[in-house]
Structure 1
Amino acid sequence: MQTQGLVSPWWYVFSIVPLSCFGSSVTYSVAAVCFIGDVSEGKVRSYRMIAYELSIYVGLLLGSFGSGFAYEATDSYIIFCISAVSILVALFLMTILLPESLPFRNQTVASASTDTNVLSLLKNLWSTCRKPREHKNRFILGTIMMVLLLTAFVSEGSNSVFYNFMRIKFHWTVKDFTEYEAVSIMVPAVAGSCGVFFIWSVRKCTKSAVLCLALVSLLSHFSSSLMKAFALVSWQIYVAIGLGVFKSLVNPMCRTMITNLLPADERGKIFCLLGVSQALSPLLSTTLYFAIYTRTLETEPGIFNLFSACLYGLGIILLSIVWLKKSRNQVYYEPVFK
């Protein structure tokens, strides 16, 4: 009553601490990808990776639409309560419906070899990631991980300044930007659902469907960023959404390739390192993109989109190198990239 319903911002900061101690979304994403890798084999794995990515986009879409109406009808406290209840329901469903994906023998071996020393765990994690592998798998594995890091780097950095860019160059309001966000989420979500049929048709034409679809997705990112960089009117930004229709497919395809390259007992370690690296990338990407944006604000504020296109172009080059490497041993790599 004394604060008229207002809460100190520090309470919001304190609420993040328990979540951060348990790894936040990094822990969940690593566990989800490893579970899909454990319970899936062959071609089914790529379909389930696409379904996992699609479910995230659908959740973002529903949350973006629903939260606005709920906030207008109630207040922020009700929004947080709905969010908490949703998380509890998800936890309940996972506890009741999801079985353990690892065989009992693997669990026993893992428990016997568990070390409580944090430094030993980090050393073991690093040694697993850099150890030599047959058929130059270490190089291919590192290259695919670099592509995933590039996409996360560009996504976080671009999102940090994109609203300011639209407000300055096209004089968009919050409502205009919210509508754009809804469309930009919906289009990749629809494309993700079509991606299952797309990869099925691609497999009829090539033995590297997963790698091919990852390249198509990066090309989609590249063309979308170029359109945003050279856009002169607002409707061209929506054209950029259309050009980026397949952008949601690069993550599931790259994760499928990594899962196929690794034995079951090493997937968690690799995805853990990858998840932590992706979570830390905004510290650098947001700073870099903000520096580029502020320095080019008076001349051409959309230059950061051109920088994004260059990084996506680098990702295309890296996957092209993977394509050349795998072409030297088609028999071995066919089940990995098909």
Structure 2
Amino acid sequence: MEEKTESARENILNNKKYGKRKSVRFKYALEPAYFVLYYAFNLTSAVLQNQMLKQTCLKKGYSMDICTNLNTNDETKAVEELIQPDVAKINMSILLLNSIFPGTFSLVLGSWSDIYGRKKILMLSFIGYSTTLGLIALFSFISENVTTLSPWVYFFSEMPMTFLGGWPTLDIAVCCYVADLSTDKTRSFRLGLIGFFNFFGSATAYFTSSYILAATNITILFIIGFACSFTAMLWALFMVDDSIEPSEHVSNGEQFKQIFSPLRIKEIFNSLCKIRPMKCRQILWALIAIPTLIVFTMHGNGTLNYLFVREQFEWSLRQWTTYESINSVLSVTGIFIGVMVLKKGLQISDMKLGILGLASFTVDAFIKAFATKGYMLYVSSGVTLFRLLSTPMFRSVMSVAVPHHEIGKVYSLTTCFEALSGLGAGPLYTAIYNNTFTVFTGAYHLLTATAFIIGLILAGFIVRWKSQGVTNQYD
């Protein structure tokens, strides 16, 4: 077994039987599927929190009239304050579920895909997302038309996506696929384009969700989300070519066994821990830590932001989705200006753009923490336009910090840490929110700001190490 794996790895290094394809049919075929999948997921998530609040309210014995009009008067606001901690705990449990197995699974997938191809793990994630969205639609239909189900059913609906790798699987597949089909000079553009489609899909989903809900009902909305994800899966299956040319002499069964080979993990840690010249190892670990901190905050904020705006500003679902759509449009605009104007036009380096993104994130967190009026969130989104540049820029820097045959390993370990960060983010953010939301609703944003300040410090060390003699690839 180990001899076969060693041989496979040698073939990668020598670019003989394994390695990047010379061409694919459609160089940008992945982006449409990626956009539609994120549209489907965010269309569902935009209103799922509302559905969970409603079902929690009903299961606690309150009337349908109260549960469908939460936060509209003093009585229903008091009811919502009683049930919000329960919904926060469900969100925390979903986050933990989506961290443990996907985080562990993602550790080996990048190294494995260096040999056996990106498309296989890409399809795993599309199948998982589609199945989960289908179950959400089913549970919603039963709850709305048959009998009110416990909101915990949405925790169980996450399991197909989780056990097929979840977002870490998708993240690894997409990043490795883009790295395969781009050069060092074009990689930040391609990663920025992926970020563009991500948040454009989110903006479109948030903008349309409340209108679809008003015109139909929540079950129909969930069915539309499932149909979109299923369409994206079919597109990826038939239109996206693998960027890696795998060996024809290794059976599918043997490939599957190799996923769980201990040698996969050994290869990853050998790659990350080996001595590199000119402080490249320290730089690489700092580059892994920064995206992990960013995702840590996204884990924590993502479970609480809707509850935050309802408590702090008494926003309705439409006000929330309107804000999120505008926020996503501004984020997309920031990515576009950053990549096309600052990067390609003014030739500002990936490292400097990444630092600009971190600084913007920090300011955004402080504004949200102390916001007393809803319009302040819009101000924050405009002032911190470039915050989402940080992740694609640091990943671009990361991709040139190691040889190409090690990119999958580096992305695997990074995604593993990002996923497992949810184990800390979920309980910590939920504990802070549940203990402060009636007196200082935005307290958890101060934790977010602290994480970004640490990221800025690490970025400063990278710049310093570079100035001490590391090659100019980090300029």
TM-score, with structure 1 as normaliser: 0.86
Output the amino acid matched with 2:266: K
Structure 1 partner of 2:271: 128
Q: Deviations over 1:116-174 (max 9, x none)?
A: 64434333333333222232222111101111011111122123333333333333333
1:29 maps onto 2:171 in alignment: yes
Structure 1 residues 43 and 245: CA distance shift in structure 2, 3 A: same
Aligned to 1:173: 316
- Aligned residue number for residue 302 of structure 1: 442
2:296·2:418 contact (CA, 8 Å) conserved in 1? Answer: yes
Cα distance in 1 for partners of 2:157, 2:314 equals: 35
Distance 1:236-1:87 versus aligned 2 partners, 3 A rule: closer
The residue type paired with residue 219 of structure 1 is A
- Residue in 1 that maps onto 2:411: 271
SS at match of 1:261: coil
Residue 14 of structure 2: aligned partner: none
- What is the rounded CA distance, in whole Å, between the counterparts of 2:305 and 2:184 in structure 1? 39
Match of 1:152 in 2: 295
Cα gap change, 1:277/1:128 in structure 2, threshold over 3 Å: closer, same or farther?
A: same
| SS state at 2:466 partner | helix
Letter in 1 for 2:237: T
Say yes or no: does 1:187 pair with 2:330: yes
How far does residue 62 in structure 1 lie from its aligned partner after superposition? Answer: 1.4
Q: Which amino acid aligns with 1:94?
A: A
Q: Helix, strand or coil for the counterpart of 2:345?
A: helix
Q: How far off is 1:7 after superposition?
A: 7.5
**From 357, 375, 378, the counterpart of 1:217:** 357
How far did residue 13 of structure 1 move?
5.1
Residues 210 and 317, structure 2, Cα contact 8 Å, conserved in 1? no
Farther-moved stretch of structure 1 (226-235 vs 25-34): 226-235
Q: What is the SS of the residue equivalent to 2:373?
A: coil
2:474 maps to a residue whose letter is F
Gaps in structure 2 of 5+ consecutive residues: 1-140
What are the Cα deviations for residues 251-301 of structure 1, in whole angstroms up to 9, with x where unaligned? 100111111112222222221222222223223112212222344445433
Which of the residues 255, 258, 267 maps onto 2:398?
A: 258
Pick from 342, 350, 360 the counterpart of residue 198 of structure 1: 342
Letter in 1 for 2:365: S
Give the superposition deviation at 1:106: 12
Q: 1: distance between equivalents of 2:142 and 2:186?
A: 58
Question: Could you tell me how far apart the structure 2 residues matched to 1:268 and 1:259 are?
Answer: 9
Correspondence for 2:186 among 44, 54, 78 = 44
Residue in structure 1 matched with residue 206 of structure 2 by the alignment: 64
Q: CA deviation at 1:12?
A: 5.1
Deviation at 1:66, TM superposition (A): 2.6
Q: Relative to structure 1, is the Cα distance of residues 300 and 91 closer, same or farther in structure 2, using a 3 angstrom cutoff?
A: closer
* 3-state secondary structure, aligned to 1:40: coil
The corresponding residue for 1:227 is 367
Aligned to 2:224: 82
Asked if 1 retains the 8 angstrom alpha-carbon contact of 2:205 and 2:325, the reply is no
Q: Which moved more, 1:289-298 or 1:317-326?
A: 289-298
- Counterparts of 1:169 and 1:31, CA distance in 2: 38
Deviations, residues 203-223 of structure 1 (Å, cap 9, x unaligned): 1xx5xx100000000111111
Q: CA deviation at 1:77?
A: 4.0
Unaligned 5+ residue runs, structure 1?
none
What is aligned with 2:98? none
CA distance in 1, matches of 2:249, 2:392: 26
Task: Tell me the amino acid that sits aligned with residue 236 of structure 2.
Answer: M
Question: Cα distance, 1:14 vs. partner?
Answer: 5.0
1:285 alignment counterpart: 425
Q: Are residues 7 and 20 of structure 1, via their aligned partners in 2, closer, same or farther at CA, if it must alter by over 3 Å?
A: farther
Match of 1:247 in 2: 387
Give the TM-score taking structure 2 as reference length: 0.63
Mapped to 2, the partners of 1:233 and 1:16 lie a distance apart of 34
- Residue in structure 1 matching 2:305, options 162, 165, 186: 162
What is the count of residue pairs matched by the alignment? Answer: 329
- In structure 1, the residue matched to 2:241 is 99
Deviation at 1:73, TM superposition (A): 2.9
User: What is the aligned-residue identity percentage?
Assistant: 25
Q: Secondary structure at the match of 2:327?
A: helix
Distance in 2 (CA, whole Å) between partners of 1:303 and 1:12 is 27
- Name the Cα RMSD after superposition: 2.9
Pair 1:238–1:13, CA change in 2 (3 A): closer
